[in-house]
Structure formats: structure tokens, C-alpha cells
């Protein structure tokens, strides 16, 4: 379905971003990975996922808090594959603390990486998409883009901002072949969430499996983690012709969290 298209997925060397990159590669999209840590493993996974469809994979290690590096990444993607047709803004970090105790540098970093980076990638990718009259911008927000949770002021603020940016981008591109939508997952067992599970297990003196049940029980009626694979398939739908007129939505995949 996506042969000849190029997808740039930020924060895609693990977790949700990697799941989305693999799903798009299976549809034939060339993938530009971005993120920290091990690169060879994720690159091999994406290549394997897209092998039958002929997908190619490149990598750029832009620090998503630095606009100049983001600009270089977009130029790199264009040099490798022509242009960015699909932009998935997924990069994110987390810190948990009360508002009065929240470290200022952590606030600044979370807003920069979780929100401002999406503005920069979007403004840089849009001209090529509009010139081609086709593009997909998928912002990975969070259930925390729709509701709040204590101790997560910066993350919640950033994710609410992502949902707002999604709506404005969708409105500005509404008469064109470019769409912009947000995915709002509930609990996904990524490295970020695993840290919260570990902390809860330590604080309550319970096993890791028990801590997972406690975490899910607090928010998610389904008592199931959403998987990166499920989120990847939702991203594929947003890229399909069936979603040509899906614009500006914040689509929660959260096991009933927001329905309560």
C-alpha cells in the first residue's frame, strides 16, 4: 500500500515508534529511524518486517531538543529517499514529580522533546507534502493529551499541546491531500512505562507482575496493555485511502480509560 512512500518516525529505536516503523515497512514504506541507544537491532527488525515489500531503512540520530539537528534530519531523509511523505512524531521522555518540586530543566526538556520537536518536524515536512498533494502527519500523543494525572505536569501539558497542534495542522491542510491526526495510547509496556512499574513494585513491596496489575487497575478497565503492534496498525489505517477524510482526530486506544 505504501510502496514508494517514505516515513520518518522519531523516537523509533524502541517501543511505540519501533512498532509503528515496522508496521509501515510491512506496507512497503521506506523508513527513516531516529532515536538513541542500539540502532543495529531496530534497523534489522524494520528491515525484516519490510523485506517482502521491498522497504529500505535509514537512520538519523538527531537530538529532538535541537532544532538544527531536526532540520538536518529532514534534509537527510530527503537526500536518502526524495522526501518525507509520512511523518510520525513519537519522540518523548517522562519525569514524575509534583508541580512545586518539578525540576525546571526537566520541564524544559519534556516540552522541547515531546511538543516543540513536533512543531519543527511538521513545519519542515509540510512544504514537500503540500507540493505533492499527499501526506500523513501522525502525532503520537497519549491518553494524557485528553485527561490529566497527578505528578505529570510537563508530560500532560506537552501531550495536550500535541493534540492542539494536531487540530490546527489538520485545519490548515483540510482542503489538501495532507492529513494530520493524533494517536492517544493508554498504558503501553514501553521502557518508559516499565520504569513506572518497577517503581510501583519497589514502593509497594510487590512483584513486577503484581505491580502491572495495580497500574492497569488504576486507570485501564480492560486490564490490558495496548501493544506497539496495535498502534502500528492504527498508523497504517491513517495512511490508507480509507482515512482520506479523517482529519484532526485524537484517537484513543486506551482500554476504556477515557470512557470512565
The burial class, CB within 10 Å (0-12 / 13-18 / 19+), for 86 is buried
In our burial notation (b when 16+ CB lie closer than 10 A, e otherwise), range 147-174 reads beeeebbbbbbbbbbbbebbbebbeebe
Look at the chain and count its residues.
260
Q: Which of 81, 107, 155, 225 is catalytic?
A: 155
Q: Which of 246, 55, 28 is nearest to 137 (CA)?
A: 246
Q: Which three cell numbers stand for residue 8?
A: 520518518
Helix segments in the chain, DSSP class H: 15-26, 40-50, 67-81, 104-111, 117-132, 153-172, 191-204, 208-219, 228-239
Q: Which three cell numbers stand for residue 44?
A: 534489522
**Local structure of 260: helix, strand or coil:** coil
Q: Which residue has 486506551 as its cell numbers? A: 254
d(CA 73, CA 153): 29
Q: Is 76 a catalytic residue?
A: no
DSSP state of 226: B
> Known catalytic residues?
155
Amino acid at each position: 500500500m505504501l510502496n514508494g512512500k517514505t516515513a520518518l518516525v522519531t523516537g523509533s529505536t524502541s517501543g511505540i515508534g519501533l512498532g509503528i516503523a515496522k508496521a509501515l515497512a510491512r506496507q512497503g514504506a521506506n523508513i527513516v529511524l531516529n532515536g538513541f541507544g542500539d540502532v543495529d537491532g531496530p534497523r534489522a527488525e524494520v528491515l525484516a518486517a519490510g523485506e517482502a515489500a521491498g522497504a529500505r531503512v535509514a537512520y538519523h540520530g538527531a537530538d529532538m531538543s535541537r532544532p538544527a539537528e531536526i532540520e538536518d534530519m529532514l534534509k537527510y531523509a530527503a537526500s536518502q529517499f526524495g522526501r518525507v511523505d509520512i511523518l510520525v512524531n513519537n519522540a518523548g521522555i517522562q519525569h514524575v514529580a509534583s508541580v512545586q518540586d518539578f525540576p525546571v530543566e526537566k520541564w524544559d526538556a519534556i516540552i522541547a522533546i515531546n511538543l516543540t520537536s513536533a512543531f519543527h518536524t511538521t513545519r519542515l515536512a509540510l512544504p514537500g507534502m503540500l507540493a505533492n498533494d499527499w501526506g500523513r502527519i501522525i502525532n503520537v500523543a497519549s491518553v494524557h493529551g485528553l485527561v490529566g494525572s497527578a505528578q505529570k505536569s510537563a508530560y500532560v501539558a506537552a501531550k495536550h499541546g500535541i493534540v492542539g497542534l494536531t487540530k490546527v495542522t489538520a485545519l490548515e491542510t483540510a482542503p489538501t491531500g495532507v492529513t494530520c491526526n493524533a494517536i492517544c495510547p493508554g498504558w503501553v509496556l514501553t521502557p518508559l512505562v516499565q520504569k513506572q512499574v518497577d517503581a510501583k513494585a519497589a514502593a509497594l513491596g510487590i512483584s513486577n507482575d503484581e505491580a502491572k496489575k495495580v497500574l492497569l487497575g488504576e486507570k485501564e478497565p480492560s486490564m490490558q496493555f495496548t501493544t506497539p503492534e496495535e498502534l502500528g496498525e492504527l498508523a497504517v489505517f491513517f495512511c490508507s485511502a480509507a482515512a482520506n477524510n479523517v482529519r484532526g482526530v485524537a484517537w484513543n486506544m486506551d482500554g476504556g480509560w477515557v470512557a470512565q
